[in-house]
Amino acid sequence: MRKMLCENAYRRGRGIGIETQCYANEATKEVTVIYHELESDTFFLCDECAKALKRDAIKHGYKVKIRKL
């Protein structure tokens, strides 16, 4: 079974736009950012990128759910 890459990984080009790109490359968390009741995005990220995305999303007033893979 292949390991899933972090969506913010350096190997994937620009990533998802979190400030610093990831060099860990292995996704360990499923992060869901909930904008409204009907709108949400799900990302597969490493621990550091998940923390950075959570911090940024909460700063903008969005809800975040993190699940371990």
46-56: per-residue pLDDT in tens?
999 999 999 99
Question: CA 32, 68, 18, 15 torsion: positive or negative?
Answer: negative
> Does residue 4 sit within a domain?
no
Its pTM stands at: 0.83
Please tell me the total count of domains within the chain. Answer: 1
Distance set, CA 42 to CA 16, 31, 67 (Å): 11, 6, 11
Q: What is the pLDDT of residues 59-68, one digit of tens each?
A: 999 999 999 9
Q: pLDDT digits over 9-47, tens only?
A: 776 665 666 767 777 778 999 999 999 889 999 999 999
Residue 61 lies in a domain: yes
Helix (H, G, I), strand (E, B) or coil at 17: coil
Q: Is 21 helix (H, G, I), strand (E, B) or coil?
A: coil
For residue 1, is it within any domain? no
Which structural domain, as residue segments, surrounds residue 17?
10-68
3-state secondary structure of 47: helix
